[in-house]
Amino acid sequence: MRYRLFNPLAVSITAVLVGMPVAQADQPHAVDWNAVVQAKSGGFNPGRTPGGDDRVVVQLRHEEKVAVETPLLVVFPKCANDPEVQGKPVLNLDEIIRDPSVQPRIGDDKTWDPRWKVCVDRQAFLLYPGDRADLELNVDFVRPVSEGMSPRITGTIYQVPWYWARKINDPDILARYKHLVHPAAAVTVDLYYRLDANSRRWRAGDYETIFGSPSKGAAVTRDYYQVMDSMPVAVRDYREKRRLPRLSPKPNFRLPLKQVYELGSGSEQDLPDLIINPQVLKPSVFNRAKLAGHGSVSHTLSGVFSTKWSADHSLHPGFGFRVEAWTRENGFWQKLASDWVQYNGHWTLNVPASKGYRGDHLRILYRSYNRYYQPQNKDGDTYSWRDPDQYNIGSSFYAGHRYADTDGGEFNSVGELVDAAMNMWSRLYWDGNIDPVNSQPIKFHFPNTWNNCGGNSPWSCASWDGLNIWLIPSHGRQARVVTHEMAHALQGKFWHKKWPAGSGGSHTLSGCYPDRLGMALTEGFANFMPAWVGYPSRNVADGGFSSGRWALGLDAEKRTSPPNCSNGWENETWVARTFWDLHDKHSDGNDILWFIHKGAVISLYLGNGVANNGDAMDMRDFETIYRNAASPGHQGYITDIFEQNRM
C-alpha cells in the first residue's frame, strides 16, 4: 500500500481497514461516543447565554474494528444550530394546491431564532487505535418552547497514515489540510432534551424518555386551518409534481434490459443525431392491466394531508402516505376505499355503491406503510394517524386539511422518512422502469436505539435478505442514508439474497479494501443510488452534491480527488463514481458517455449478480457488461470511464 504526499504538508490518506464480517451492510463508521458527564435537569435562560445552559462531556472512542491500524482525525465545527425554519406561513395554500402557478400570500413573516445551539471546546482530535478523548459541549437553549428536541453536532472523520501522524502529531495542524483529503465517515453526537417554556426548565434523557413511544393504534391528526397563520409551509413541495407508482398484483422480478440494450448509449460526439423511439421508454415491464371497476359510486371523499418535518420545522405534503376510509356503522369495521396521498397532499376516495355505505359514520386513516416499506418502532408497531370520526356524511365530503406533527414527539422525523422512501420508489418505477417491491415490505426499524449493527452503539444498517433496515434517529431524516440502505434491499431482491465475497461489515468511504472487494462493490452501488434518486438532472458539476436533504457523504463527480487507492475497485467511493459517470451527462475528462435509459446503469448491475453466494466479484467484472450494452462505437468510451476511475 502506498501513501502519497501533497505539497507542502497535506496528505492524501489511504488505509486498509479490517472489518468483521457480519450479516448486514453498515453506514460508514469509525468513531463511537458516549456521554460521561451530563446532568438530568436544569434551568435555562432564553436567548444567547455565554457558556450555554448545559455542559455535557462525551467520550470519543476509536473504533478499532473498523480502523485497527489507522489513526483518525476527527474535526467538528465550532458550533451547530437547530435547523432553520425554511418556510413561511401561507394564507392561500389551498389555492396553490389547486393551481401551482398561484403566488403565495405570506402571513406572519417573522424570522425564527433557532431553538438550540451546541458549541465544542475543541474542534480537532487525533485518535490512535485504542485511544479515547473527551469532548466538551455547551448546549444553549435559545428559543423558549415546550417540546422535545435533539441538539446535535457532527464531526467529520479522516484516516491518517502512521508516519504522517507521528511527524505532525497535532490535530489542529492536520485539520488545516482536511479539504485535500476524502472523508472516511462522520460521527454525530446526538443529545435529547425536553423543555418547559413556562418554568424555564429542561430535562435530559434517552430517546424514548424525551420523545415518548407511540401507543398502539392511530394518533389523531391536527387541523391545519387552526394554525395556518403561524405554520411555516414548504411551498415548493406542494408545487413539485411527483408521480406515484402503480401497485402491481405481485412483485415483479424482471428488469428492463431489453429496452436498455435497444436504446444503448449517447455521447457528446453524436448528441444532435440521437433519435429515440418514445415507445421504448414506456414502463412496459410491469403488469399494466387495469383493476376491475367498482361500478357506480355512492360517496366521494376528499381532503389534504401533510406532515410537519423536523428537518426544517415546516409543513410538507404527505406524498406517498396511504389514505383509507373506514366505517363502523353496522357494528363492525368495514374498509370503504383506499388510495395514495398525491404529490401536493390532496387525496380523493370513491366509495363503490356496492359497499352499501349509508354515511352514518366515517373514519379517515393515513398509513405510513405500504407494500414496499413499513416504518415501525422497537415493538413492531407501525405509524399511522386518523382524523376525528365524522357522522352523517353526505355523498360529497371534504375532510379539510389535516396534518401529522412529526417535528419532535413520538413520531419525530417519520414524515421525512416516508417522503425519502417514496421518492426512491417513484424514481425507480417511472425513470428506472424497475419494480423494487419484494415479497414482504421492508421493515424500517426507526428510531433504532437498540441494534448496534455489529459495533458498540446503535447504528444504521440493512440485513442481507433485504427485508430489514435499522435507522438511528439522526439518519431517519436524511434522505441520503434512507436511500443508501434501501439500495442494499434492492440488490438483495434482484440478486436473490446472494452476495459477493468480502461483503458486509464496518467500513469507511476512504478505506482501501483489497481483501473485501465485495464490500467495495456493494457499498459503492449503495452510495451511487442516493445520487441517482436525488439528482435527476444527470448533470451535476464538481461540488454539486453537498447541499440539501440529498447531500452525499462523497462527491460523485470529482475524478481527481482522493481517496488515493491505487486500485479503484478496492474503494467504495471510486466504485460509486464509476456508476455515476456511466449515468450522468456532465462531461469531465474522458467521461463523455451516458446510457439513454435512465435506469440502465442500475438494471445492468442488478441483472448480473453473483451465481453463488460468496463468489468473487468486483467492479472490474462490470466493464464488459457495460461495454456490451453501449451503442456501436462507444465501447472505448466505457473503458475510458473505468480507467478514469482507476479500474
pLDDT digits (tens, 9 = 90+) for 547-565: 788 888 888 887 666 788 8
- Say yes or no: 67 and 172 in one domain: yes
Please indicate, yes or no, if residue 623 is contained in any of the structural domains: no
Q: What is the pLDDT of residue 65?
A: 64
- Say yes or no: 166 and 51 in one domain: yes
- Would you say residue 630 has pLDDT above 90? yes
CB of 106 within 8 A of CB of 150?
no
H or E element that contains 527: helix 517-534
H or E element that contains 266: strand 265-267
Q: For the chain, give the mean pLDDT.
A: 89
- Would you say residue 280 has pLDDT above 80? no
In eight-state DSSP terms, residue 520 is H
Torsion of CA 551, 65, 574, 614, to 10 degrees: -120
Q: What is the pLDDT of residue 271?
A: 52
Domain boundary among 150, 177, 206: 206
Q: What is the pLDDT of residue 268?
A: 66
- Say yes or no: 166 and 239 in one domain: no
CA–CA distances in Å: residue 530 to residues 166, 420, 479: 37, 10, 8
Please indicate, yes or no, if residue 634 is contained in any of the structural domains: no
- Say yes or no: 324 and 201 in one domain: no
Please indicate, yes or no, if residue 158 is contained in any of the structural domains: yes
* Mean pLDDT, residues 133-141: 98
Looking at residue 99, which CATH number applies to its domain?
2.60.40.10
Domain count, the chain: 2
Q: Which domain holds residue 59?
A: 30-206
- Would you say residue 417 has pLDDT above 50? yes
Lowest mean pLDDT among 131-135, 251-255, 364-368, 438-442: 251-255
Q: Compute the distance between CA of residue 565 and CA of residue 514 in angstroms, rounded to an integer.
A: 10
- Say yes or no: 236 and 164 in one domain: no
Count of H helices and E strands in the chain? 14, 35
Identify the three-state secondary structure at position 379: coil
* Mean pLDDT, residues 271-297: 51
In eight-state DSSP terms, residue 270 is T
Domain boundary among 411, 442, 459: 411
319-343: pLDDT as tens digits? 999 999 999 999 999 999 999 999 9
> What's this model's pTM, rounded to 2 decimal places?
0.90
- Say yes or no: 197 and 225 in one domain: no
* Mean pLDDT, residues 379-401: 97
- Say yes or no: 173 and 223 in one domain: no
**Per-residue exposure over 609-624, b if at least 16 CB sit within 10 Å of its own CB, e if not:** bbeeeeeebbbeebbe
- Would you say residue 12 has pLDDT above 80? no
Lowest mean pLDDT among 16-30, 88-102, 289-303, 432-446: 16-30
- Say yes or no: 172 and 306 in one domain: no
Please indicate, yes or no, if residue 211 is contained in any of the structural domains: no
- Say yes or no: 36 and 180 in one domain: yes
- Say yes or no: 117 and 172 in one domain: yes
Model confidence at 215, pLDDT cuts 50, 70, 90, reads confident
Model confidence at 570, pLDDT cuts 50, 70, 90, reads very high
- Would you say residue 488 has pLDDT above 90? yes
- Say yes or no: 134 and 241 in one domain: no
Q: What is the pLDDT of residue 269?
A: 62
Of the chain, the percentage scoring pLDDT greater than 70 comes to 91
Please indicate, yes or no, if residue 527 is contained in any of the structural domains: no
* Mean pLDDT, residues 24-33: 82
Identify the three-state secondary structure at position 504: coil
Q: What is the pLDDT of residue 66?
A: 60
Domain boundary among 411, 432, 449: 411
H or E element that contains 132: strand 132-141
The total number of residues shown for the chain amounts to 647
* Of 254, 275, 258, the residue nearest 266 (C-alpha): 275
Please indicate, yes or no, if residue 389 is contained in any of the structural domains: yes
Of the chain, the percentage scoring pLDDT greater than 90 comes to 73
Identify the three-state secondary structure at position 397: strand
- Say yes or no: 235 and 331 in one domain: yes
Model confidence at 270, pLDDT cuts 50, 70, 90, reads low
Identify the three-state secondary structure at position 582: helix
Please indicate, yes or no, if residue 235 is contained in any of the structural domains: yes
Please indicate, yes or no, if residue 182 is contained in any of the structural domains: yes
The single-letter code of the amino acid at 58 is V
- Would you say residue 351 has pLDDT above 90? yes
